Chains A and B, each alone.
Chain A
């Protein structure tokens, strides 16, 4: 098995792991970490595809790699916004619950 297939398969597993965390971890921050892992899985998959596309004297297809840089920055922006909302929620309600009905005592 070559490097790109290996990491492509690894990426598929990362997506699955991230998804699992997004579903079962109750705390929003943990969901956010899981989202980042899932996102990185997608990125690695794209990176492996770029490596597969090595041609014309280039070690990898530069288009996906350029898109990846954009995607990593967008994911960072998403994380920043989510953390800001979460911290504000904690500040104003002292909970971080995502439940429909706010926990008692509010």
Chain B
């Protein structure tokens, strides 16, 4: 058969998907200590593949395509890599390498056994997550994407309960059931689309889909299902206990990587499959959920007593941030969602979040390992004991805030420009406020970590230098994403960070963050509040505390199963309704 198999470098896409899976299978076969070796050997290879794909994509200047078996869609399956996919492939490969470096110490097979459960499972599941994510990024077929999503869930759930405690098992079970609910809704949508248009291939569907009952229902169901898997507020039923209770190396995978899979799929659906079905109002709803997630997630994060839970709740907030791009990418004149500055910003946000959040969880894990606890109030002296770790935490925090030239800074800038350009000033407030909230919990942790300790700090365990270095590397990497401005992004975005306007903005965000931290943290941040400022500040603090408690209660309420599952269906119904009526600008 003389076959055309797509673009020249397309075979790299198949290799990128297969490599982690083959590594996993070889790991099962070889067992014992070889599992870790195989996994670690796959990582540089996978990174090289991702770099190769990036180079090929830049050189060819178009979407890479590979037809599997030479069968063209709609009968066959095509792998495709556009800019979005290439960026995510590269980011995930880098984060996986960082996590691999970090986890070498935590998940080494103990010397006295041939094979240990935790090490065997961790490395193989990490490979599985990686392969599934690569598949999510490059697959061009909605059903293959369903299988990829399920792969991601089956690999993610056991990572949650790798430690085996009752609380994490419960979290894992909630995650599993809720995610299954979400994926059935996704599959239902895909089935409807097949019934309506006779194909599951993304470009073919994009050409055929008309805004009608079938497309709207499918989009509403699929979006709601994917949001459940992404854990966007109020569907974050499983996230905090799962991410807070898992081992740090697993939390990093879950928080930085696993949720990106379903988020990416929402992006694909809205931008590439049904951009013409999406309406202004539905995009507003999506971002509105994101804004709520930022507020509730951040406030609850500030009220946590344990560092890992703080980071877990900050993930809830950051997921919200990832959805702010949708109304900004909406082209009101054409009534379609378009690729442009806003979608680039959103993508950059996701990449920065993946790197920085992984670094943050790693740092939190190192603190826990060193101290034997991670109570925020008792962190005094840790900055002196683990300077590299604390530096990694702070840099990751800065990267998430988007204040100095970091990846998130560029992302925020792109989104702010898009908000200005489309006259949606309310998203400007949310974007800046979100940064201030992020600043708040960095200040909170730093305030505690920098305090001097009267007695010598008791370290229960020496932490691995390599692990500290890995966390720092990812955090620095997130900052260095600003260099993207030199390459594919327009250069005018990088203004001088020391220019008065930029500096003032940075300062504003930091001060806002400090005030939020002061007001909302559970324990008073300063050991002895100044009596002079007590009276007016006291009333403010009361109000802030009331807000904090209200957010906590709201969080607890929506994380009840019945509420969350009803919320899921209600959201699907709302999206359906807004897709129907929301065509006014």
Residues on A facing B (Cβ under 8 Å): 15, 18-19, 22-24, 26, 28, 31-32, 35, 38-39, 42, 45-46, 49, 52-53, 63-64, 67, 70-71, 74, 77-78, 81-82, 85-86, 88-89, 92-93, 97-100, 102, 106
Is the Cβ of B164 less than 8 Å from the Cβ of A92? yes
Contacts A78-B154, A92-B164 hold; do A15 and B180 have CB atoms under 8 A apart? no
> B156-177, CB under 8 A of A: which get 1 and which 0?
0110010011110110111011
B559 in contact (CB, < 8 A): yes
Is the Cβ of B154 less than 8 Å from the Cβ of A52? no
Smallest CB gap from A64: residue in B: B194
Expressed in whole angstroms, the Cα–Cα distance for A93 and B171 within the complex equals 13
Is the Cβ of B157 less than 8 Å from the Cβ of A81? yes
B204 in contact (CB, < 8 A): no
Is the Cβ of B169 less than 8 Å from the Cβ of A89? yes
Is the Cβ of A32 less than 8 Å from the Cβ of B188? no
Of the candidates B154, B166, B181, B192, which one forms a contact with A93 in the assembled complex, judged by CB atoms under 8 Å apart?
B166
| A-B contacts besides A45-B191, A100-B241, 16 pairs, CB < 8 Å | A15-B188, A19-B569, A28-B173, A42-B184, A78-B150, A78-B154, A81-B157, A85-B176, A88-B161, A88-B169, A93-B166, A93-B169, A98-B174, A98-B177, A99-B561, A102-B166
Expressed in whole angstroms, the Cα–Cα distance for A81 and B157 within the complex equals 9
Is the Cβ of B180 less than 8 Å from the Cβ of A78? yes
Expressed in whole angstroms, the Cα–Cα distance for A12 and B79 within the complex equals 32
A92: chain B residues at CB < 8 Å are 164-166, 169
Is the Cβ of A71 less than 8 Å from the Cβ of B187? yes
Contacts A38-B184, A78-B154 hold; do A32 and B170 have CB atoms under 8 A apart? no
Nearest Cβ on chain A to B2's Cβ, whole angstroms = 24
Is the Cβ of B188 less than 8 Å from the Cβ of A42? yes
Contacts A42-B191, A100-B556, A100-B559 hold; do A32 and B177 have CB atoms under 8 A apart? yes
> B23-61, CB under 8 A of A: which get 1 and which 0?
000000000000000000000000000000000000000
Of the candidates B150, B180, B192, B569, which one forms a contact with A82 in the assembled complex, judged by CB atoms under 8 Å apart?
B180
Is the Cβ of B150 less than 8 Å from the Cβ of A53? no
Q: How large is the interface on B (under 10, 10 to 19, 20 to 34, 35 or more residues)?
A: 35 or more
Residues on B facing A (Cβ under 8 Å): 75, 143, 146-147, 150, 153-154, 157-158, 161, 164-167, 169-170, 172-174, 176-177, 180-181, 184, 187-188, 191-192, 194-195, 198, 241, 556, 559-562, 565-566, 569
A77: chain B residues at CB < 8 Å are 150, 154
Smallest CB gap from B564: residue in A: A23
Expressed in whole angstroms, the Cα–Cα distance for A39 and B169 within the complex equals 24
Q: Which 5 A-B pairs have the closest CB atoms?
A: A93-B166, A49-B195, A89-B169, A23-B565, A46-B191
Smallest CB gap from B557: residue in A: A100
Nearest Cβ on chain B to A19's Cβ, whole angstroms = 7
Is the Cβ of A39 less than 8 Å from the Cβ of B560? no
Expressed in whole angstroms, the Cα–Cα distance for A28 and B166 within the complex equals 15
Nearest Cβ on chain A to B261's Cβ, whole angstroms = 16
B167: chain A residues at CB < 8 Å are 102
Is the Cβ of A52 less than 8 Å from the Cβ of B195? yes
Is the Cβ of A22 less than 8 Å from the Cβ of B154? no
Is the Cβ of A35 less than 8 Å from the Cβ of B154? no
A93: chain B residues at CB < 8 Å are 166, 169-170
Interface centre among A31, A67, A86 (most CB of B within 10 A): A67
A26: chain B residues at CB < 8 Å are 561
Is the Cβ of B188 less than 8 Å from the Cβ of A45? yes
A39: chain B residues at CB < 8 Å are 184, 187
B194: chain A residues at CB < 8 Å are 46, 49, 64
A70: chain B residues at CB < 8 Å are 143, 147
A85: chain B residues at CB < 8 Å are 157, 161, 169, 172-173, 176
Contacts A15-B188, A35-B184, A98-B170 hold; do A74 and B177 have CB atoms under 8 A apart? no
Smallest CB gap from A92: residue in B: B166
Is the Cβ of B198 less than 8 Å from the Cβ of A82? no
Is the Cβ of A99 less than 8 Å from the Cβ of B560? yes
B177: chain A residues at CB < 8 Å are 22, 28, 31-32, 35, 82, 98
Can you report 21 A-B residue pairs in the complex whose CB atoms are below 8 A from each other? A23-B561, A23-B569, A42-B184, A42-B188, A49-B191, A53-B198, A70-B143, A74-B150, A78-B153, A82-B173, A89-B166, A92-B164, A92-B165, A92-B169, A98-B170, A98-B173, A98-B561, A100-B556, A100-B559, A102-B167, A106-B166
